[in-house]
Structure 1
Amino acid sequence: MSTRLHMVELVTGTAADLGAVEQVMASAFDPRFGEAWTRSQLLGILGMPGVWLTLARVDGEAAGFALARAIVDEAELLLLATAPAFRRQGVGSALVRSILADARERGAVRVHLEVRAGNNAVELYRGTGFAKCGERRGYYRGKGGQVYDAHSYSIALS
């Protein structure tokens, strides 16, 4: 039986927080699927206009993160991960709600994301109002050269 977290602290992240992001990614993403980003990729995108990083902490420990960007009136959830020890305890949904609120504040009317077919995170996205709107064949390249489809989801912000 899992216990619900008492407090998820959400904070704006910077390049100085990439160690915590990498730690969460290393524990959350199975290398077979090629979903984790490198430090160079993270640093490159963080420097771009409209990009923001949100960290989730529980009792000071990195529990998850979300990376997003807004361009004109649309936003994209680029990357989201919850450390396995904190899954199904409200961390992921807190991050998604935060990204949606931030996107709305930045003028977005719709938020998009892509997720690997078969990824359990689909439950989280559907549960927060995202609907499937497309598919990209062979989008993800795994460590051993395998390819995996990506499913596109979006949500209209009101």
Structure 2
Amino acid sequence: MNVMNLSFSEAFGERWNIHQCRSMLTLPKAALQIAYHLDTPCGFTISRAVADEMELLMIAVTPSYQNHGIGRLLLRSLLENAELGQINKIFLEVRSNNPAQNLYKKMGFEKSGIRKSYYTGLDKVKYDAITYTKIIIT
């Protein structure tokens, strides 16, 4: 939860609480992946597979570890596990002004849709949600 709290700004309401995390992780084929530096958690992913598709529900890297390859390492591991699990597609959704989009594009995700005004910041400004898809097995 420390990584969650440090990684997500309260300005957008994207941070999950402990109850939401526990609830999600009790669902079938939900997975938590944690990255460590020495003994300190510094990043994680939460994903869920259904049939031959997976959704990356959340990825976070503690700000002091951002831009050090942790996010790329987490995504690469997620993609490898998806392939081993015979997942055909991975989906994710991201706020339109989130710089993480650059990482998703570098990792082969392609923009596949938009949800207009999906996110609302504390300042009441609306932000679109951009959906990305990556084909794993063709």
Quickly name the TM-score band, shorter chain normalised: over 0.9
Query: Is 1:123 the equivalent of 2:123?
Result: no
> Structure 1 residues 131, 105: CA separation in 2 closer, same or farther (over 3 Å shift)?
same
> Structure 1 residue 155 and structure 2 residue 134: aligned?
yes
Runs of 4+ displaced beyond 6 Å: none
**For residue 29 of structure 2, what is the amino acid of its counterpart?**
G
CA distance in 2, matches of 1:34, 1:23: 16
Does the aligned pair in 2 maintain the 1:111–1:157 contact within 8 Å? yes
Kept in 2, the 8 Å contact 1:33–1:148? The answer is no
Whether contact under 8 Å (1:117, 1:150) holds in the other structure is yes
Stretch moving more, 144-153 or 122-131: 144-153
**In structure 1, what is the Cα distance between the partners aligned to 2:120 and 2:84?**
34
Whole-angstrom CA distance in 2 between matches of 1:28 and 1:116: 14
Is the contact between residue 97 and residue 127 of structure 2 (CA under 8 Å) also seen in structure 1?
no
Match of 2:52 among 54, 59, 73: 73
What is the aligned partner in structure 2 of residue 28 from structure 1? 7
Q: Structure 2 unaligned segments of length 5 or more: list them.
A: none
Per the alignment, residue 57 of structure 1 pairs with 36
Whether the 8 Å contact between 2:113 and 2:131 is mirrored in structure 1 is yes
In the superposition, the TM-score normalised over structure 1's length comes to 0.82
- What's the CA shift string for 1:69-103, capped at 9, x where partnerless? 11001001000000011111110000001111112
Match of 1:105 in 2: 84
> What SS does the aligned partner of 1:42 have?
helix
| 3-state secondary structure, aligned to 1:108 | coil
How far apart in 1 are the matches of 2:123 and 2:115? Answer: 20
Q: Deviations over 1:39-88 (max 9, x none)?
A: 11111110000100000001111110000011001001000000011111
CA distance in 1, matches of 2:21, 2:126: 22
The alignment yields a C-alpha RMSD, in angstroms, of 1.2
Match of 2:113 among 121, 125, 134: 134
Q: Which amino acid aligns with 1:67?
A: I
- TM-score, normalization: structure 2? 0.94
Q: Measure, in 1, the Cα distance between the counterparts of 2:117 and 2:80.
A: 31
Pairing 1:48–2:32 present: no
Q: Is there any run of 5+ residues in structure 1 with no aligned partner, and where?
A: 1-21
* Separation of aligned partners in 2, 1:114 and 1:64: 18
Q: Percent identity?
A: 36
Aligned residues: 137
